[in-house]
Structure 1
């Protein structure tokens, strides 16, 4: 049986339902760039992935236009209340408290910037649960893989088999796979079962409580 000692958590769509603020931020940026959002439901795809990836790969913006759009997004998200259009998922605090009590090292690994991450964690009283917070930046930590690699290095993970990534989107599962780490895909966030399994999720959880149970149970090496 393989036990997990280092637990890396995505933030948006995994610990908090930040979708409303993120989707409103994208709508604001797209409209500021001269576009129009015909179906607000399509904005769900932007909850989780890095901003640059969303604007360039999914929306087809040039690198220059992407930078402008990101600035508009951050204007809404940081200065117009977007980051607090957010709520903690049911069961998350109990799950974190249980893992902390069991002696697990809990780490945030998010594509959100450091300032926004800090504000969200403080606003919802989640800071005490975490031993380290790794956030994205505009230089050497733009992809989720880069953020997770940085977190692993800073936390001194010696045996990657003792670590697991918990997230709700393809980029979370892919980052874990790139580092040889197990992953748990949460089904209550913004990615569906197919997205998560196709990206290599080792385990799936339908609730925050199930996330905690899976981590405490570990993984059967015979699987």
Structure 2
């Protein structure tokens, strides 16, 4: 029976949540670590994503865990043990650093849309070749300017929120309408305060609209899992 992995922990917890479709979770120990999984056969439908997230949240609320993103499946318990044993040192170190912590997500969207060709007040070039060169040059200039502005926003967030560089992840300009997608790792017991601080700081930023969400299990900081 194949297993869909939900989280990695150092020990099982009392009264674990129900697994996918309400079936009991499976605890697979491997040395000093173990993983929680649900028996899973067939396609991984999108409807299962929310159930997976529910399980991860409830496990993390009960014990220190490394959350595993949806979709990681192994053939059976023996394969799960082999994979855990092969990465025990790396996973154990990550668990000690982020176990019991939560992340806050900050998304900054540009208030003005990217330049659309043919709009604005710039005089159009007289030949197709010159129009191509000017359009390409303007696109590069706009992209470079936006990236520089987004990097400045990222630096300001880190400075004003007084977070350690090791506890923040930034994606700079991940899409045309996005300036920044950031994840902050809150200290244990302080996630709600970290969210309030993020809302307060992002409200002072100009040129962007902020969306602050969470707290979530620290998926972003457990990417090695």
**Could you tell me the TM-score, scaled by structure 1's length?**
0.28
Higher strand share: 2
Higher helix share: 1
**Could you tell me the TM-score, scaled by structure 2's length?**
0.28
Q: Which has the larger radius of gyration?
A: 2
